[in-house]
Amino acid sequence: MTITRRQLLGRGLGLAGASLLAARGKSTNGFSFLQSAEGVRVTSGRTISTRFRKNVRAGSLLVAVISRQSTGPLAPTIGQVSDDQGNHWRQAVEFFGARYYGVDIWYCERAGGGNRPTVRATGLGYPVLPGITGMNIGLLEYAGATGYELCDQICQATIRGTSVTTTSNFELASDHELAISVIMGDMTAATVPAGWNSRFADLNGTCFVADTIDTGGSSAGLPFPAMWKNLRGGSAGVGIMATFVPKGVPAKSRRLVQSSYTDSAILPAGRGHVAWTSQRYPVNPKPGNTLIAFMNGSIYHPSIDCGSVVTVTDSVGGRWHKLGESGVDNHTGINISSWICPSAVGGPTSLTATFSNASQQLACLLLEFANLPAHLKVVNQERRTFGSDVPDLTSGTPLSAGDIAFAFRTSIFVLPEGPGSQRWQQVLSDTTGANALMMLNTPDGVLTAAWSGYVVRGGLDILLLALSPSA
């Protein structure tokens, strides 16, 4: 199907020749498409919102696609997606590219149901730009998934012509997955991948969304492709894909509940804060859950030791302690540190960081986890600071099966293509090069966090942490 006009989400867009069952968004193997909604494109500001057209079902998988284009040099990162019904959201994949196109997929694994959530996406204060030329959001609802940790694989691709194939970065973990692919660029029309359903076509913002609600009975163990063709006038743009398994881990398993990221605007030279307060968790954490934060302060002028985060407190009296840090340097102005609150207090929760040197900028990734062990100790910490372009980091000693690992990398103007081997899961990607991975149950042996498709301009910083239950 070639899309040559603006089409509303989910309005009879099945491909000719596809079965009636598929055209209606039904699958006999788990997922089924329920509804969609389209936002009203905005041309200023850094927020966008829209509301589902019908009540959502309890337990549904909700997906938000956020597209934006800026005046340059970067498309602002979407740091948070939330709604007015208290659902938990997390990022699946983000990418930006030439001519300042940016696009994200965020998702809520299990909707509370009963109402029509209004979903809001928020862009970050950095990079500071003259403004965006357009920003929009599309919403999708799917039934049929069970459990948690539903996102399996992701993909980022650069568009350089009139076709592009978005292929999952690694092999799918199961059969009958849901796949959602998005492209955005300078094309005026596009043909969706063969056998896929067109769900969204914003010709003003040149953003196109398609899905296939069943990747097939033999998809496990193979990378999964989506080939877009006939990108009319296409020469630049970005493409992404996320796949979701029909059956995730049980509710009592280790799982990421929600995430939120901020990267504040940079204060002028000579100005900074010794203490800085982060954003709040979008949904009040559940008492007893584990809270983990990655944060750093940055100093750009003058070029001096960027220092470190020395204390973290939160607004409700939670007890935080440092897990590790990548190390100080006077080049990138960044020192990634990781902090943990083993048992959340609950209530509106923001963090206040105190820096050893007054910081011009704060970056903070907030994560809430359910069912992590009550006592965790650091069993491995590896780090790399400015001066090396090697895009991976390996644990110094073998890990035990069932350990928990995190890897956080930041570079300058990086184009991340996704995580490396051993089935890491991405929890953050931003347009300035920050990228966070997690593995909630490690295998036995040495663990490596790796990235590909990057462009390093002067070095990078990486922190790898492995945690193990302790008595």
Distance between CA atoms of residues 56 and 119, nearest Å: 12
How do strand 178-185 and strand 207-212 relate by DSSP bridges?
antiparallel
* Residue 250 belongs to some domain of the structure: no
* Residue 156 belongs to some domain of the structure: yes
pLDDT at 431 over 90: no
Distance between CA atoms of residues 243 and 172, nearest Å: 8
Q: Which residue range(s) make up the domain with 156?
A: 2-244
Confidence of residue 370 (pLDDT cuts 50, 70, 90): very high
The reply to whether 206 and 324 lie within a common domain is no
Mapping DSSP to helix (H, G, I), strand (E, B) and coil, where does residue 203 land? coil
The reply to whether 137 and 262 lie within a common domain is no
Confidence of residue 74 (pLDDT cuts 50, 70, 90): confident
* Residue 428 belongs to some domain of the structure: yes
Q: According to the model, what pLDDT value does residue 387 have?
A: 59
Q: Which of 185, 220, 244 is the last residue of a domain?
A: 244
* Residue 249 belongs to some domain of the structure: no
- Give the lowest-confidence range in 323-327, 367-371, 372-376: 323-327
pLDDT at 49 over 70: yes
- Give the lowest-confidence range in 34-38, 154-158, 240-244, 304-308: 304-308
Q: According to the model, what pLDDT value does residue 130 have?
A: 64
For residues 83 and 268, the model is more confident at 83
Q: Which of 210, 244, 278 is the last residue of a domain?
A: 244
Average pLDDT over every residue of 255-270 = 88
Q: According to the model, what pLDDT value does residue 357 have?
A: 84
Q: According to the model, what pLDDT value does residue 410 have?
A: 80
Distance between CA atoms of residues 427 and 433, nearest Å: 13
The reply to whether 177 and 272 lie within a common domain is no
Contact 385, 461 (CB under 8 A): yes
The reply to whether 334 and 294 lie within a common domain is yes
Tokens of 196: 């896929």
pLDDT at 460 over 90: no
| Percent of the chain residues topping a pLDDT of 90 | 61
- Give the lowest-confidence range in 56-70, 329-343, 394-408, 455-469: 455-469
The reply to whether 327 and 458 lie within a common domain is yes
- Give the lowest-confidence range in 25-29, 105-109, 266-270, 349-353: 25-29
In terms of pTM, does the model score above 0.85? Answer: yes
Q: Which residue has the tokens 């079965």?
A: 19
The reply to whether 96 and 230 lie within a common domain is yes
Residue type at 129 in one-letter notation: L
Count of domains forming the chain: 2
Residues paired with residue 212 on neighbouring β-strands, in sequence order: 179
Tokens of 411: 């570079």
* Residue 65 belongs to some domain of the structure: yes
Confidence of residue 90 (pLDDT cuts 50, 70, 90): very high
* Residue 368 belongs to some domain of the structure: yes
The reply to whether 227 and 333 lie within a common domain is no
Q: Which of 244, 274, 307 is the last residue of a domain?
A: 244
The reply to whether 217 and 313 lie within a common domain is no
Residues paired with residue 319 on neighbouring β-strands, in sequence order: none
pLDDT at 415 over 80: no
Average pLDDT over every residue of 112-122 = 95
The reply to whether 71 and 177 lie within a common domain is yes
pLDDT at 318 over 90: yes
C-alpha 276: how far from chain center: 24
Confidence of residue 471 (pLDDT cuts 50, 70, 90): low
Average pLDDT over every residue of 420-446 = 85
DSSP state of 444: S
pLDDT at 420 over 80: no
pLDDT at 78 over 70: yes
The reply to whether 77 and 138 lie within a common domain is yes
pLDDT at 12 over 50: no
The reply to whether 459 and 425 lie within a common domain is yes
96: closest CA among 38, 167, 182?
182
Confidence of residue 22 (pLDDT cuts 50, 70, 90): very low
280: closest CA among 82, 428, 137, 438?
82
- Give the lowest-confidence range in 43-47, 200-204, 233-237, 419-423: 419-423
C-alpha 105: how far from chain center: 7
Average pLDDT over every residue of 224-230 = 96
- Give the lowest-confidence range in 203-207, 307-311, 334-338, 370-374: 203-207
* Residue 310 belongs to some domain of the structure: yes
Q: According to the model, what pLDDT value does residue 454 have?
A: 54
Q: According to the model, what pLDDT value does residue 55 have?
A: 97
For residues 362 and 467, the model is more confident at 467
The reply to whether 362 and 279 lie within a common domain is yes
pLDDT digits (tens, 9 = 90+) for 275-300: 999 999 999 999 999 999 999 887 77
* Residue-wise burial string across 431-447, b where 16 or more C-beta atoms lie within 10 A, e elsewhere: bbbbbbbbbbebeeeeb
Round to the nearest angstrom and report the end-to-end CA distance of the chain: 59
Q: According to the model, what pLDDT value does residue 14 have?
A: 29
* Residue 405 belongs to some domain of the structure: yes
**DSSP secondary structure letters along 140-187:** EEEE--BSB--EEEEEEEEE-SS-EEEE-SS-BSSSS-EEEEEEEES-
Query: Considering Cα of 412, then 416, then 422, then 425, what sign does the dihedral take?
Result: positive
Average pLDDT along the chain: 86
Average pLDDT over every residue of 206-224 = 93
